[in-house]
Structure 1
């Protein structure tokens, strides 16, 4: 499980994006964007109603501390590809509630939104950092606390473990982690070299990598995520999308040249055989 955390200024902007996605050029495109987000509010805490009603409630309480520039607490928890199906909606809500307790805003207003618009199902927690008593939940050491929380939840729910960010590990563990990362890179590179050598198109490379257990992201670039949910860009192992396509083109030209050469040799053999007769 991977956790991300941020603070912000606008409850309306944050919740609007989570429900509707990025602003589109037309109403039709916006409806398509909303359908892709598949936003589902799975828990309310000390607030309730439509999105506009919830925003008004959050803003009203945040004014109890008018000096706070960023009252919005926004966290996301992304589950490994094979893990989301293991969790019920209630379990996802329970994980969000546990995170609220861990960060000290469990008595504050917050909503939990589930998304299924990517390969990894994930949830968002949007909370008011300001409580009803006017006190503000601390955001100090947020990244370290989030990493520790994710490791604890992985054990509790038997989820796929993910390596904590290197800066939060002890020195001896950093070395071990670095070695594991290098081994993963080497294995990815070796597998990718094999997949490219056996393929004639980027789609074939993608299919072969997926059969070897990698999730492949293919858009303007290419990235691979292994079974331990460690992600690498192709360029990190020396094979950007442009490099892969260039190598595939070279292979195709060599194959075409070989075919032409084989044809020429076959024709020459036939001609030679005809002359000998």
Structure 2
């Protein structure tokens, strides 16, 4: 089983997507609404408990291999266990099942704000914890053991580094350490690139998105116009694509993460981005802010559309 997770700011957009897919079905959760609009209104209950919180939307997908299927009660049980293990044991959530691919899979939309105390569910080591939980669920439910693309295609810490990280994490859990240990910069960068490539992008779009996150990208071409590779610099540390893993090299981004690269279309744009990273980041941020303002206004307009008829009755 392969899992993926992202965080966002707007419930309505995610719920609209989950509801709009062909043969999508709302199969579970702990909420009363039965459509995107009703559920979005209901999620406001948890939002009101922590109005200052940002990125409160949690989206997880769990997908089985082609030859496996689960019935709805089992999917619901599995989703509930996954959320509880991830720390969502007092949170609003719904489960949608999609049949738009060859892989039987579900999507979970949850609030990161706990209903019992209004605090945000912590997300430290969430990718690592998710993989550990999924491996255990596979064993408990007799499912095929499946490595995620991140596990297979990234360079993992050495055995010594891993033992140190596990020891420090255990010390934090037991109260012997005041603050959680910092994940290695290399792993943080891998996860940042994973999140940046979650949707289908062109290579220039990926470069621009990474620049917005503060990642310096370098890419060169030979005299014959072929790629010399890609490297990244983040938090004052430099990494070649090869050192991060096969999925982070220039051809690996295309093969394993679905990044679309067409030399004639993209090379000039990439070169401009690399020469003017700050300028491009500012322009991109302006665009994002404009879109965010538009979305926010759309939410206000939706609310007015619902409220005005009641006021005029």
TM-score tier after normalising by the smaller chain length: 0.5 to 0.7
- Answering whether residue 75 of structure 2 is matched by residue 69 of structure 1, we say no
Number of residue-to-residue matches in the alignment:
162
CA distance in 2, matches of 1:120, 1:75: 15
Give yes or no for contact 2:19–2:35 (8 Å, CA) kept in 1. Answer: no
1:5-44 matched pairs, under 5 angstroms: 5-21=5-21, 37-44=22-29
Classify the secondary structure of the residue corresponding to 1:73. Answer: strand
Aligned to 1:147: 131
Unaligned runs of 5+ in 1: 22-36, 173-230, 238-277
* TM value normalised by structure 2: 0.47
Give yes or no for contact 2:112–2:120 (8 Å, CA) kept in 1. Answer: yes
Cα separation, partners in 2 of 1:74 and 1:168, compared to 1, 3 Å = farther
Give yes or no for contact 1:144–1:168 (8 Å, CA) kept in 2. Answer: no
Give yes or no for contact 1:75–1:125 (8 Å, CA) kept in 2. Answer: yes
Aligned to 1:127: 110
Give yes or no for contact 1:9–1:69 (8 Å, CA) kept in 2. Answer: yes
- Answering whether residue 92 of structure 2 is matched by residue 109 of structure 1, we say yes
Q: CA deviation at 1:160?
A: 1.3
Aligned to 2:278: none
Aligned to 2:176: none
Classify the secondary structure of the residue corresponding to 1:112. Answer: strand
Unaligned runs of 5+ in 2: 160-246, 257-313
Q: CA deviation at 1:169?
A: 5.6
Cα separation, partners in 2 of 1:4 and 1:236, compared to 1, 3 Å = closer
CA distance in 2, matches of 1:142, 1:113: 22
Deviates more, 1:52-61 or 1:119-128: 52-61
CA distance in 2, matches of 1:117, 1:140: 32
Aligned to 1:80: 65
